[in-house]
Structure 1
Amino acid sequence: MDTFIQQLINGLSIGSVYALMAVGYSLVYSIMNFSNFAHGGVIMIGAYFGFYAMTALNLPFIAAFALAAAGSGILAILLERIAYRPLRKRNAPFLYFIISAMGASIFLENIVIATVGPTFRTYPRVFDSAPISFGAISIGRLDITMFIISAISLSILMYIIGKTRTGMGIRATSYSERASALMGVNTDRIIFIVFGLGGVLAGIAGMLFGMKYTVYPQIGFITMKSFIAAVFGGLGSLPGAVIGSVLLGTIETITAGYISSQYRDLIAFVLLILVLIIRPSGLMGKPTEDKA
């Protein structure tokens, strides 16, 4: 039983970071109806922002954390303005957006390899490595921090979406961009804000993930897990993205603890296939035919 609780706690920790990544996918999908595969590149850049802020600039954790979030938010907005906005103005098919997103992801990864290098980098230690123990159960201080920061960030996002005028505009645009524009909603501004919010969360997730593991140009591949979580919960549904992420993180850690860590990635992709076969709209998503 202690082993199960231990793996459950580990799953909640990594699942909360997956959730930060997954809501970025869901936000963009709910507004623009395509999967933003460049999101992984933004997460990777956020991890590097935080790393160099703490090592090269010698900034404290809080300042580095803010820089990573702000830098990734700005990068996400720039990507939307450069890569997606011209396509929106021409009413391009959704396939063009996906191709553009994949190209942006490859560009970001290779520009980092060319300028920074492919070397793995490790964050300096911020928290005491000694875990907090409750009997046979040990909880890392970093895991606790990851969960708390993720929970606070997601709560703020949910408040913005559910309780503010901007959030009302986001929800209206997610139902119908054309109808929202006719009702006076500045949909271009809403898309600008959505990419900014997704980028900020991506920077937070990238820094937390880099602190727990390492930083390298291919770190964006981890967003495949968050994409699976978003599909599992239902693309376009923020609560679904959070629930899917927590479930995926828990399933992965339990698989690693009871079977083998070699199967954790396999389980994730098997889960994706099963969801697509049994319930393509996910746990909380709505069936659609025109989204890609």
Structure 2
Amino acid sequence: MTQFLQQLINGLSIGSVYALMAVGYSLVYSIMNFSNFAHGGVIMFGAYFGFFYLTLFRLPFPVALIGAALSTAILAIIIERTAYKPLRNRRAPFLYFIICAMGMSIFLENIIIALPFIGPTFRTYPEIFSKTPIKIGSLAVGRLDLLMFIISAICLGLLVYFIDFTKIGKAIQATSYNIKASALMGINTDFIIITVFALGGFFAGIAGVLFGMKYTVYPQIGVITNKSFIAAVFGGLGSLPGAVIGSVLLGIIETFTSGYISSQYRDLIAFVLLIAVLVIRPRGLMGKSNEDKA
């Protein structure tokens, strides 16, 4: 029973970070109906921003965390303005958006490698919190794991409040249902798209810092978004509750696979889950079909 609870705690911790990543996918998909594969590059930049804010500028952790999140929010807006807005203005097919997003992801990764003061070197965050776990009976809860869960839960709670109880949030919901009708009703859909990318970038920055603290920072760290994409598909692309539930379930499944079977099968199980969802229920757990959004 102790091992079961220990794996459950670990799964909730990593699943909560997956959720921060997955909501970026879901927000963009809900409005623009394509998967923003450049999201991984934004998360990677978030990890580097947090690292340099802590080590180079020696900012306190809360300031560095918010600074990294704001920096990646600005980066996400720049990506939307320079890469996606011209395609929207030309009414390009959605396939062009996906190709552009993949190209932008490769560009972001390689620009970090090309920078002489960064390069491909692996970097480790300074020890901000004690590695001594918190003992709860026979359970050992890592301080960083607990911090990851608390920060992720607060951020996701604030996002839900913003979407459900603010005027802009209501406009995002309306635009996600039908962007053309929303524009006819007077909603500034261009501003809504900017807001959605900013929100996704903000949470990507926080996820990048937390993930970099737990593991390490390197240019290919954005590949972890493959997991968050799986979680978003599992929960239902375009659905924020689905993205959160899918992420938590994926984190739990991965940790239980590592704990009871083998860590070698961790990624295998994740991608088998993706294939199974696409074959059996393409909409995911809580996603809507395209016909519902038309």
TM-score, length-scaled by structure 2? 0.98
Q: How many residues align?
A: 291
CA distance, structure 1, for counterparts of residue 241 and residue 212 of structure 2: 25
- C-alpha distance in 2 between matches for 1:194 and 1:287: 21
Distance 2:137 2:147 in 1: 20
Match of 1:103 in 2: 103
- Residue 67 of structure 1: CA displacement? 1.0
Q: CA deviation at 1:66?
A: 1.1
How far 1:289 sits from its partner (Å)?
6.5
Aligned to 1:34: 34
Aligned match of 1:260: 262
Quickly say closer, same or farther: Cα 1:283–1:290, change in 2 above 3 A.
Answer: closer
- Please show how residues 216-255 of structure 1 align to structure 2 within 5 Å: 216-255=218-257
Corresponding position of 1:75: 75
Runs of 4+ in 1 over 6 A off after TM superposition: none
- Whichever residue aligns with residue 87 of structure 1, its letter is L
Secondary structure of the residue aligned to 1:161 is helix
Name the structure 1 match of 2:114. Answer: 114
TM-score of the aligned structures, taking structure 1 as reference length: 0.98
Partner of 1:283: 285
RMSD of equivalent CA atoms:
1.0
2:233 counterpart letter in structure 1: V
**SS of 1:87's equivalent?**
helix
1:67-216 to 2 correspondence within 5 Å? 67-115=67-115, 116-216=118-218
Q: Between the two proteins, what is the percent identity of the paired residues?
A: 74
Q: Counterpart of 1:127 in 2: which secondary structure?
A: coil
SS of match in other structure, 1:35: coil
The DSSP-based 3-state class of the residue aligned with 1:133 is strand
| Closer, same or farther: CA 41–114 of 1 in aligned 2, 3 Å | same
* Residues in 2 aligned to 1:13 and 1:236: alpha-carbon distance in whole angstroms: 23
Alpha-carbon deviation of 1:48? 0.1
For 1:256 and 1:287, how far apart are their aligned partners in 2? 34
Structure 1 portions without partners, runs of 5+: none
Cα distance in structure 2, aligned partners of 1:289 and 1:52? 46
Structure 2: unaligned runs, 5 residues or longer = none
Encode CA deviations 1:10-37: one digit per residue, 9 max, x unaligned. 0000000000000000000000000000
Asked if 2 retains the 8 angstrom alpha-carbon contact of 1:281 and 1:288, the reply is no
CA distance in 2: counterparts of 1:164 and 1:290, whole angstroms: 24
Give CA-to-partner distance per residue, 1:53-96, whole Å, 9 cap, x none. 00111111011101110000000000000000000011110000
